[in-house]
Structure 1
């Protein structure tokens, strides 16, 4: 799994456009939260087996870039949570889950 850093609100329009070519995930991570650390570790361990090689993954450290997290909520019409995984496809948020409810098999179904 290769993470791409998300650290600017300017990237959100680029992500929206990229998602018209291939699915994008955004993972919002709180570096001070043990649940968030568990969710991130689980996501990284299960990524290869989930068959999501065609999905580009963005990582947001929301403690360092909270304004970006707030703008994600506005742009994609979701409530801010942490940890949180969004699947962006065709310019829209097609999947949104948080905490240990993040399910890569569901992500794969929506991404297909």
Structure 2
């Protein structure tokens, strides 16, 4: 069985640069409600300095990554009125290897995919 982990990065597609300083929080979705697992800020490469989940801390289940893009775009002098927090819900299974969930965003739109 392949060990599993979770990482992310954020790209600012409006300016064509890595999005530095975006707060990324990871929530585990439980019956009683979401539980905050960890929170990071992206570095100059648009990545978090550490994985959101390591192989040691990985637990299968439903999670939500929340990206605070509104404050990022506001700090860059862009209209941040449309997108504030982008939430991406993912289901993670054990033995599926490395999960990488990038966010490509502008003040007006976003996309994601399962990266490598």
Q: Same fold (TM over 0.5)?
A: no
Structure (1 or 2) with the larger CA radius of gyration: 2
Q: TM-score, normalised by structure 2?
A: 0.28
Q: TM-score, normalised by structure 1?
A: 0.28
Bigger share in strand? 2
